[in-house]
Structure formats: C-alpha cells, structure tokens
Structure 1
C-alpha cells in the first residue's frame, strides 16, 4: 500500500538542523562577502570624493593667487603692504603672502619689504609648469611649523606665494574620510597630514589618488578593524537572514517532497476517476488496398504537475499495484471510441499496451472477457501489445502460452512491442507466434547507415514471414527511413512521418482524410 507523505518525509528536527547549518554558513558567507564588496566600493567612492574636494580647493587657491597678482605692482610701498594684509585677512586659506619678481626673489610680504631668493628646486618646478604654478612643503619661520606654500607667476613675471598651515589642505578631506578611513596626504615625498593610524595594523585595502598637475597624492586606507566592527553591527540582520533562508529551504524541501510524493497520489486518483486521456496514433498500411490500424497511448495533463510522461504513469501504476486498472481503463476508452465513431472505425483495429506480468495473472483473461462482453465492438478489433521487458522463467513460459491461447480464443490479436531490445526468445515465438512483431525505433534510426542493423532487420523480417507474422516499423520520421523499411519488405509503418498521437476527434479527421490513400 502507498505510504503517506508524512511517513516518508524526514523528521522536522533533522531538516531544521540540516538547513539551519546550511543557512548559517550561507548567511556568514553572504554577509562577509557583501560587506567586503561594500567596503571596497565605499573606499573607492570616498577616496574619489576626497580627491575631487582637494582638486577644487587647489583650484580656488590658485584663483585667489592669480587675483592678487593681477592687482599688484613691482613695488613694496605702504599701500602694497596694506593690500597684502587686507588680502590675508579675507583669505580663507592663507596666513601670509609674498610677492616675487621675474628673478624669483621675494621683495614684499605682509610683514613688509623683504629680499631673499626662492629655492631653486621650486623655481625649476614653476618654470616646468605649463601654468607657472607649484606647491611645496617648507618649514616657515613666521608660522613656526611645517607650512604649505603655493606659488604662482603671472605672464609678466610678477609672482606670489602664499603660506598656510599644512592642515588647511586636509579640511575637506578630513570631513569626507574621518573617522572611518585613515589617510595620508603628501606633497612630493613629504607628508602634509597623516590621520591617526597604526601602519602596523592589518589593512583590508588601500587606494592611492594623485592630483593631475600637482605633486600631491592621497592614500586612503580601509582597516580590518572597520570591517570587523561593521560585521559585528550586522549580526542581528545576519541572524534574521539565516532564519529566512532556513524557512525558505525547509519550505522548498517540503514543496519538492510534496510534488514528488503527491504525483503518485494524483495518478492513483486519475486512474480511479478515468481522467487519463487516450490518444491514438495511426499504423499506416503500405499495401495497396490495405487497412490502417491504430495504437492507443495514454496522455495526462495534471492540474498540479503539468504534462506527465506516460512512462512515469506506467511506472507509478506498477508501483501502486494499479497497472491492471490502468489497462482496463484504456481498453474501455477504446470501446467507447468504437461506439462513438462506428462508421469511421469500421475497418480499423486498435492495439493497447499491456504489461506481460499482468498476462500471467489468472484473473487477467476472465476480466478481459468481461470487458469484451461489455463492449462487443472490441471483438476481432482489439489487439494487445506486449513489451518484452524481461525473460520468462521455465515456469512462466508454459503459463504464458496458456494465457495467450485463452486470449486468442477471445478474438484478440497479440503483438510483441519493441522487438529486438528485450528478452523475447525464439523458442517462445515458435511455441506461440504473435500476430505482429513491432520493430523498435532504435533499429529504424540506424537502419540507413549501419550495415549490421540492416542485416539484423533482414533476419527478423525473414523470421516473421516464416512464422506468418505481420511487421510494423515504429518511429519512422523521415522519408529515407520509410524507403529503407519498405525495401526490407515491411508493409506497416508507425511514426511522426505520417501522424503523431492525436486525440480521438483529430485522429478521426485524419482517418477520413486518408481513408482512400
């Protein structure tokens, strides 16, 4: 008897433990990998933003210097000094200005007249710059600390330098990066600003940004300490994600099991309700004036499982002990088909597949006799196709011959289906010849190109003629296959070349159209 779904499904505790472990691993992996990717992207975006902010500040600095130079003279009178002091007062960046001439000597500052030369290295950088500007980091006597110097020289040779605390460059950078991302800001090889950061600490990643046209570089670090801190803060979300994954896995697992084990239940119900459809595939006679035949084939579209394979239906029916019920259902539907279309099917025989082990049952022939009494239209028209799925034992062989004799006495034809691929023995064929041998599609597919297959089919054809059996070639799909089986002397063909299995109303249309062909 078919077991219930609950008895087959694994225990809930075992499933929760198994999927809980997978969900935990997946949650940790996803969050760690996601946080890693996020932190790298965040480092890239914030470093880029800091670079842009630094670039804007440098452009503003040199616009300010250019404005002062454009309004200055090669003199250092009181009004010149006052103007420089006034510019210093209103400057957002600089604490001191100094004017220099085309010889690169400073002659005037906010503290009064001066006369000293600018370092040669700075002069060279000014001359090499296309816009006659550069920056430097020098210790200032006036500011008393490492000082940021910005130099600009106008087209007429008059130039200016501005002095500012080195930290002024890092105001915007610090706002964008601190306190999460440590950084270093350097001019040339000298560090302007370095946020508090232990260089011996492990770093997840770092990004280096260089300002085009300036000897300024910005190195931004993403420390592992930040990564672990964020990961710890995400633990509640990781736990929730783990639970959701566990529930999804468990629900999906239950759904798969339900689908798997509910399919047999639905097949059982469909057999009991006679809701499995029967389609019919014509077996075409190649003889002039010969009559066509048909094979009844099961088809079923489940409302829950979609189109279900006939092979699955048969295997499931065997497992559930319902294969005989399936056979009786198909035979009765063939009887109904004859009753519904008596004129169109007057000269057409129809075959039904039957399991050979069903034939061995003592009750099979009497039950079949009862159905023929119920449907007299089947007598002389019904055929049974027996698939040679396994060899008969010494005990089964005479029993099968006895069953066949009983069935033949009921006016029913017998065919061996898929001949050549199973275990049908020559001894059995000689003791009780079938009415028809059906050649399997495997042989038909390789008939054209395989000489060995051709020799086998030639022998089978000769055997069938000796035993007075008809031959049917299954699976003929192309014209070259049709020509090949015709050359062997096969006079009945079944396959998509002529017609696929069709519902009863469509196959009747086919019969009416091809009755005279």
Structure 2
C-alpha cells in the first residue's frame, strides 16, 4: 500500500480538469458575462434615450396644447402675438401656426397664411388616438430640413403645428450614450439623426423601440470597439478571479485530502489497536419472544471525528486492505463475549459480517483457525454473514461455495444477506449450503399488506427454507405493521428497531439473560454476567 502522505498532491487527472475549467472560465464564461452585461447596459441606455425623447415630445405638445386653450384663435393681432410669445419662450419650438378642420394653415406667428398640410400627415393625425403626429420636411422659412409637430383639437376643430430644428430631439443623447454606443432616431420613414450606427456590433442585439404617437423609432447599438475595450479592460480582473478560484479549489482539495488522510489514519490506527466497539443487535424468535441469535456490528466514537458511520470505517478498511484485520477484530470480540458470559450466551449464535473478498482470502482461513484455538467457545456458535453471491461468475461462484463448505467445517453457520431487493433468485439458495437467509432491510422497508408480488417472493423463500432447514430472518423491521405482515406470511425470526437497536455488550447480555431466565427459571446465571 502507498503512503498516505503522498495523497496530498493533486492527481494529474484532477489538474487537467481544473485546467480545462480555467480555460472554460476565460474563453467561455468571461466573454459570456461581458456579453450579458453589455446587453443589459444597452437595454438600460436604450430605455433612458426613450424616456428622454418622450419627455421632450410631451413637453413640446404640452406647449402647443396651451396655445389651443386660448378663447379666440381667429388670426387677429392677439392671436399672432400669442403664437410669437409661445415660440419665443419655448426651448424647442421656433415657429407656430394654426390650421382649420380642412387641414389648411391659416395663421402663423408671421401673420395670416393659407397653405395645406400634406395628406399623409393628415392621415397620421386622424389615425392617432390623441390626434398628434410629427414629420420631417423642408422648411421654407429656414430653408432646411426641420421637425414639424402637429396637434389637433377635435372639439374646437382647430389644430396647431410647430417647427423645431432637427437637433432639438438629439440634444443630450450623445452625452447620455457617450462614445460606447451608437444610435438612430427616425420620424416615420425619415431619419432625424444618427451617430455611429454602422459601427454597432452584430454580436449584441440592438435596442429597438417605438413611440407610437408620434411615430418615433429608436435604435441603439453597442460599438464593436467598446466590446473589445471592455474585454481587455476587465481581463486582468477575470484572470485574477480565475486564478483565485483555481487556487481555492486546489487548496480545498488538498485540505480535503489531508483531512481524509487524517481520518483514514485514525481509522487504521483504531482497527490496529482494536479501539472500535462491537455492538450486538438481537434477532428475536417471535414464537418464543426470546433472543435466538444476534448480529455483531461495529461502532466508533472518535474524539476528533465524533460518531463515525460504520460504512465509512468499512470503506477505509477496504481501501487499505484491512478488511481481514477488521473482521478478525470483531470475531475476537465475539469470542471474548462468549467467554465472559458463559451460560447466558451459550445458545445464542452471533453472526459477523464478512465480504466475499475476505471470505475467499487464505489468510482469513488461517486467522479463523488461530481464533478458534484462542477462543474455543466460538465453535458451534459463531456465524458469518455475507452477500453478493449472485453477482459472481460461474467459476467464482463454484470456488466460493467450496470455501464456504470449508468454513462450515469449523462449526460456523453461514448467513446470506440481501435477499428480496438485491436478488430474488432461489437458484443460488438451492446450490449453496447456508444456514440463515436474510430478507434485505430495503425490501422490508417497502413491504406492506397490499404488496402481492413481494409477498409471493417471501412465500417462495419460505418454502425453500423449510425444505433445506434454513432459518429465514427479516432484517430492518421497524414498525408493527411490517411485523404483522411478515408474521402472517410465516416469518419467525425478526431483526430490527421494532424489538431492539444494536446494543453494547453489557446491555445485550442483560437482554439475553432475561430471556434465559424466563425460559428456564431454575438456571442460575454465571457471576460474570453481572
């Protein structure tokens, strides 16, 4: 076996996994994070642009709506002055005009006029719920493209139109988006303004939105240069995070390995020094309500690791080839129990679990001979419980059966575990010399009064057990319902919390002594039982 001190190094396979994870983080996760962050930032900026435009548009139409509240709009001196005053104080509008129900402008802040509004604009105004619209057209007064806003009061049959420079809506957008984003704003089919739209990335979906009234289309994009800059700018942080994660995982792995090595060493030492306790769980004959046999189970209360699960102890023992030592340690404790409590345990068989690898080990056979020489009390009382015969190949099975027959010559009873859930093939039972058959605890835990299929399995096992003189034991019985169902099918021997948990030696002896006393009140127990 290799020294556990070498286990603190990280295996090459784990290093490769960590390296692939590191590359995955840098090549996939980090760019993906930047992508989703930029996408989120783009959406946020797009919403801010839309809110800015919406605010300006609402402000413009509010100013135009105030003019329409004047009592008289006949294009007289007072009306013209009102139009001039409104355009003068407006931060957006430079000219204002009034149009009638026939959509002809009859008055501007220059005086009386008479010219029609385009039919397409009229259609959009009439189609809009709030009767307002915008368009871009060439202004005769300023001799350049301008933004026109229209608002119609259906009740008064009068409308107002305003003229604003195209940059009015764009002002503030560049400052809001900075140099990282491009944009385009369109009124209807006409582009009002745009900035670096063609430099936008095709990797990140652009933000697109529409202000239905008055037909404003908004598009915001992330520039390719901004993506590259962001990736490069944050790469050192990403590398640092990846390295820290790599270091943390490596350190955690080393700590875990070191802790496991420490745990393994403690278990190995406990097995070598025989510091592991052996408990005994009674198997009850329900016809006599007395202990007929028991199973020896390991328990270990470690000062450092607390109450350690038996499966962990077995795992360490198997890992370091100590199963033979662990099994013989338990048998030694069973032999000592028989010696210390003569007269009380004489008629009680105690079964010790042994895996097939240990059972088939020649060293184990030799150890059994030594133990029987040391503790002759074991003869005719010790039992070995194993499982997994149904998993063996034909050759392995035949070899194992021969070893079982050899072991039985020592006067050792053989118990076969896991029947029911692990397997339910009686062919193994027919061709193997065993003394006890155990129904698997998982099988018993799922057993109920309506379980016809499992009931048939139990009946089949009972028939074969009776034919071959095998005791059938139900393991893991915890409830009265389970016990009643099993006994109704003919099960006689019960093991589980319904009767007793696994007990320390002194408590187990008290239970056994009580049964012995009840069975034969004339027998006087040995003084050693106290």
TM-score (norm 1): 0.77
Kindly provide the CA deviation profile for residues 173-216 of structure 1, in whole angstroms up to 9, marking residues without a partner as x.
Answer: 44433432222211111111112322796352122211133211
Kindly provide the CA deviation profile for residues 74-94 of structure 1, in whole angstroms up to 9, marking residues without a partner as x.
Answer: 344555444433322211001
Moved more, 181-190 or 318-327: 318-327
1:317 counterpart residue number: 317
- 1:253-264 maps to which residues of 2 (within 5 A)? 253-258=253-258, 261-264=261-264
1:34 paired to 2:33: yes
* Cα 1:101–1:235 shift into 2, 3 Å: same
State the Cα distance separating 1:220 from its structure 2 match.
1.9
- 1:344-493 maps to which residues of 2 (within 5 A)? 348-353=348-353, 355-356=358-359, 357=361, 361-362=365-366, 364-370=368-374, 382-385=381-384, 387=386, 401=406, 414-418=412-416, 437-441=435-439, 449=453, 458-464=463-469, 471-475=471-475, 477=477, 478=482, 479-486=484-491, 492-493=493-494
Determine the C-alpha separation between the residues in 2 that align with 1:505 and 1:117: 113
Kept in 2, the 8 Å contact 1:106–1:115? The answer is yes
Determine the C-alpha separation between the residues in 1 that align with 2:231 and 2:260: 40
Kept in 2, the 8 Å contact 1:472–1:494? The answer is no
SS of 1:202's equivalent in the other structure is: coil
Moved more, 40-49 or 67-76: 67-76
2:502 counterpart residue number: 501
Kept in 2, the 8 Å contact 1:283–1:492? The answer is yes
SS of 1:131's equivalent in the other structure is: coil
Moved more, 308-317 or 51-60: 308-317
Determine the C-alpha separation between the residues in 2 that align with 1:128 and 1:423: 87
State the Cα distance separating 1:42 from its structure 2 match.
1.9
- 1:229-244 maps to which residues of 2 (within 5 A)? 229-244=229-244
Moved more, 449-458 or 279-288: 449-458
SS of 1:74's equivalent in the other structure is: coil
Determine the C-alpha separation between the residues in 2 that align with 1:135 and 1:397: 99
1:267 counterpart residue number: 267
Kindly provide the CA deviation profile for residues 126-149 of structure 1, in whole angstroms up to 9, marking residues without a partner as x.
Answer: 344443322221110212221111
- 1:4-15 maps to which residues of 2 (within 5 A)? 4-6=4-6, 9-10=9-10
Kept in 2, the 8 Å contact 1:134–1:151? The answer is yes
* Cα 1:52–1:320 shift into 2, 3 Å: closer
Determine the C-alpha separation between the residues in 2 that align with 1:225 and 1:424: 74
State the Cα distance separating 1:65 from its structure 2 match.
0.7
Moved more, 184-193 or 173-182: 173-182
Determine the C-alpha separation between the residues in 2 that align with 1:15 and 1:352: 38
TM-score (norm 2): 0.76
Kindly provide the CA deviation profile for residues 116-173 of structure 1, in whole angstroms up to 9, marking residues without a partner as x.
Answer: 2222333333344443322221110212221111122343234321110111112244
State the Cα distance separating 1:307 from its structure 2 match.
6.4
Kindly provide the CA deviation profile for residues 238-264 of structure 1, in whole angstroms up to 9, marking residues without a partner as x.
Answer: 211220221133224334544555553
* Cα 1:500–1:484 shift into 2, 3 Å: farther
Determine the C-alpha separation between the residues in 1 that align with 2:149 and 2:91: 14
1:210 paired to 2:210: yes
Determine the C-alpha separation between the residues in 1 that align with 2:399 and 2:85: 118
State the Cα distance separating 1:62 from its structure 2 match.
1.1
Could you list the runs of 5+ residues in structure 2 that have no partner in the other structure? 390-395, 520-530
1:411 counterpart residue number: none
Kept in 2, the 8 Å contact 1:448–1:481? The answer is no
| RMSD between superposed Cα atoms in Å | 4.3
Kept in 1, the 8 Å contact 2:105–2:115? The answer is yes
Moved more, 285-294 or 128-137: 285-294
1:433 counterpart residue number: none
Kept in 1, the 8 Å contact 2:353–2:385? The answer is yes
1:186 paired to 2:186: yes
Kept in 1, the 8 Å contact 2:281–2:500? The answer is yes
Kindly provide the CA deviation profile for residues 314-362 of structure 1, in whole angstroms up to 9, marking residues without a partner as x.
Answer: 4643554544543454345446767998897686554444654477554
* Cα 1:506–1:364 shift into 2, 3 Å: closer
- 1:192-203 maps to which residues of 2 (within 5 A)? 192-198=192-198, 202-203=202-203
State the Cα distance separating 1:302 from its structure 2 match.
5.6
Kept in 2, the 8 Å contact 1:293–1:350? The answer is yes
Kept in 2, the 8 Å contact 1:397–1:428? The answer is no
2:393 counterpart residue number: none
Could you list the runs of 5+ residues in structure 1 that have no partner in the other structure? 373-377, 409-413, 430-435, 465-469
* Cα 1:136–1:3 shift into 2, 3 Å: same
1:167 counterpart residue number: 167
Determine the C-alpha separation between the residues in 1 that align with 2:453 and 2:430: 27
* Cα 1:252–1:114 shift into 2, 3 Å: same
Moved more, 358-367 or 206-215: 358-367
Kept in 1, the 8 Å contact 2:351–2:385? The answer is no
SS of 2:435's equivalent in the other structure is: strand
Moved more, 69-78 or 303-312: 303-312
State the Cα distance separating 1:45 from its structure 2 match.
2.1
Kept in 2, the 8 Å contact 1:184–1:218? The answer is yes
State the Cα distance separating 1:64 from its structure 2 match.
0.4
1:55 paired to 2:59: no
* Cα 1:383–1:184 shift into 2, 3 Å: same
Kept in 1, the 8 Å contact 2:267–2:313? The answer is yes
Count how many residue pairs are aligned between Structure 1 and Structure 2.
488
